Amino acid sequence: MLQTPMNEWILKAVQIETALLALGEIELPEQVHGLQNEARDKVRALLNAWKGRKPAEEKREWKQEKFPGGAPQDEELAGMVKELKKESADFTVYRYTSGKDTVETLVADTQAWMVAGGEYYYGQWDEEEQVLEVGRDDEHDEPGSGLVLKLTGELVHTFSDEA
């Protein structure tokens, strides 16, 4: 993912929200339910305060390129392309460039690999939404990390109704 103020904010929001949801799932003895409720209230207050610190969206112009059966610039993704070609798999390479940032995504059927901000991500591809669900793999019952990346390497996040 790209190192942007919005991505950093979303990542911390996800961590706080995860802590809040985890506090609700812990089965503790009745004697400490009061403390558990207080902790949940404090983490909920922290999450609400964090929501108030949301940075302004950064407006960026992206050059968007799509290469069905094409070659990525990244060496690791190029290695994956060789493997996909051996399997005669159909694939598409997406390349988004803005300033000095380049994000490449290799998509083959329901799987995707992305390089963004010097980091690599793998997971389930949602063709309709055009997003990578990091770590998710429905074929192997892997739920994923909860992180969802756009083709621009930007995180997508919707707060849980339970948070």
pLDDT(162) > 80: no
Burial class (CB in 10 A: 0-12, 13-18, 19+), 62: middle
Percent of the chain with pLDDT over 70: 99
**Which 3 state secondary structure label does DSSP give 48?**
helix
Q: What is the pLDDT of residue 163?
A: 63
CA dihedral 82, 87, 90, 94 (to 10 degrees): -30
The stretch 23-41 carries a mean pLDDT of 93
